[in-house]
Amino acid sequence: MGTARGFRPAGAVSTILAVTFVGLMVLGAPIAFAMLIAGLVAVWVKPGLSGLVVMQNMFSGLDSFPLMAIPFFILAAELMSGGALTDVLLRFAARLVGRRRGGLGHANILTLTFFSGISGSALADAAGPGAMLIRMMKKAGYSDAYAAALTASTAIVGPIIPPSIIMIVYALTDNSVTITGLFLAGVVPGFLIAAALAAVNHAVSLRRGYRSPPELLDPSPLPRLFVRALPALMLPVIILGGIHFGVFTPTEASAAAVLYALVVGRFVYGTLRMHMLPAILLRTALMTSSVLFIVATSAVFAWVLTVGQIPQTVAAWIAGMELSPTVLLLAINVLLLLVGIFIEPLPGVMIMVPILAPLADAAGLNPLHFAIVVIVNLTLGMITPPVGGLLFVTSIVSGVPMGRMVREARPMLVALIAVLALLTFIPALSTWLPGLLGYRN
């Protein structure tokens, strides 16, 4: 194996960008503002550039038709939640697996996996249905810290099972993949993660004697609960099926999802009322503005990276090492796990993909396989201390101190890293379903 000739930073711009960004992160600045301010400072010291360039890149970063899918998918999830979706899915999942040892833990995993096919966001899963699931598990005698840790760990399925906000942004960052391809590639890994967590829950429940009191389970017949849950379960099927058969594009699918959620919540479940719409629209606007502001500031940061020739320099440095594809994947995994601890997945994708995707392409890695490895790595960072955005949110909604939750999450982290290893070294887990359905890069 060859050695690199020495890594040389790409000049003052890259140094100033890195120092400013890291300094702001250490001081606790929000990631979006850290990227924006670091970009402004780097532009300011670069001769011949003005602050207008920053504004132009922010707007160009948002000037993309596929980004319209983000507010629509968020709105669809909010409408389905307002239409009693969480309660319907929880009743069905608890009745389906609740009588088993550790049944409510399995119901937690199943409910959040179902909900992931609607929300596309890990934080939304943890803060929404997650709070209800934790309360129900506590009533059944589960440790509050264990219930919170299981909820946070399962919520990472949100960005992996379609529709996924992160996948939409990834496809805009890397032209070698499409939104449709990523949506299909995420299905098997998402269910694999859920299965691994179910295995951990089963082992823990056997050791601690966790059971589900019958009075907490809906006594209704399972077929009746399934029929009631079916309209909610059909939303991700309609999205993927419509895209696959060419009925609509991913962006059009998001608008169709909103219409479907309105009809189901208002006329099928009958729990979505007109007076709920202002609050639903407000929550949608707040979440959408947060996501798109990160996208806009990430575009500035990525542009400054390119001007500073950082991607090219890093690529040349690593290429000089002559790493095999296996060693390269291992190195990228370690790097992304570290990055994911401190940076949320969305900006992580926009910062790291322009640097790493050319390396993966040069090594002959399948772009869909590589994309799933990147996304899973960055989402794992959300439940990894000391930062762990999902840990923080779940700690707030559950009232459980983060330290206790982290201790309970250790076996789940081990299981998730094992799944990551499988996804890294068995590309077919990501590429089989897209290939089966005729998707080609």
Alpha carbons within 13 A on the beta-carbon side of 190 = 28
φ/ψ of 198, rounded to 5, equals -65, -35
User: Across all residues in the chain, what is the average pLDDT?
Assistant: 83
pLDDT tens, residue by residue, 83-115: 567 778 888 888 888 777 778 888 889 888 888
Q: Residue type for 111, please?
A: T
Contacts of residue 371, Cβ cutoff 8 Å, sequence gap at least 6 = 167, 170, 174, 177, 182, 185, 430
Looking at the predicted structure, is the pLDDT value of residue 364 above 60? Answer: yes
**pLDDT band for position 145 (cuts 50, 70, 90):** very high
**Local confidence band at 421 (pLDDT 50, 70, 90 cut-offs):** very high
Q: Which pTM value belongs to this model?
A: 0.84
Lowest mean pLDDT among 101-110, 142-151, 311-320: 311-320
Residue 136's nearest CA partner among 84, 98, 100, 96 is 98
Rounded Cα distance between 228 and 89, Å, is 9
Kindly state the tokens that stand for 234.
Answer: 């059909």
pLDDT at residue 7 greater than cutoff 70: no
Calculate the CA 274 to chain-centre distance.
Answer: 31
Predicted local distance difference test score (pLDDT) of residue 83: 57
Q: What is the pLDDT of residues 264-300, one digit of tens each?
A: 888 888 888 888 889 989 988 988 888 888 888 888 8
Torsion sign, CA atoms 385, 387, 391, 395: positive
DSSP letters of 4-24?
-S------HHHHHHHHHHHHH
Is the pLDDT at 4 greater than 50, yes or no? no
**Angstrom distance (rounded) from CA 130 to CA 132:** 5
Can you read off the two tokens belonging to residue 364?
């002959």
Band (pLDDT 50/70/90 cuts) for residue 11 is: low
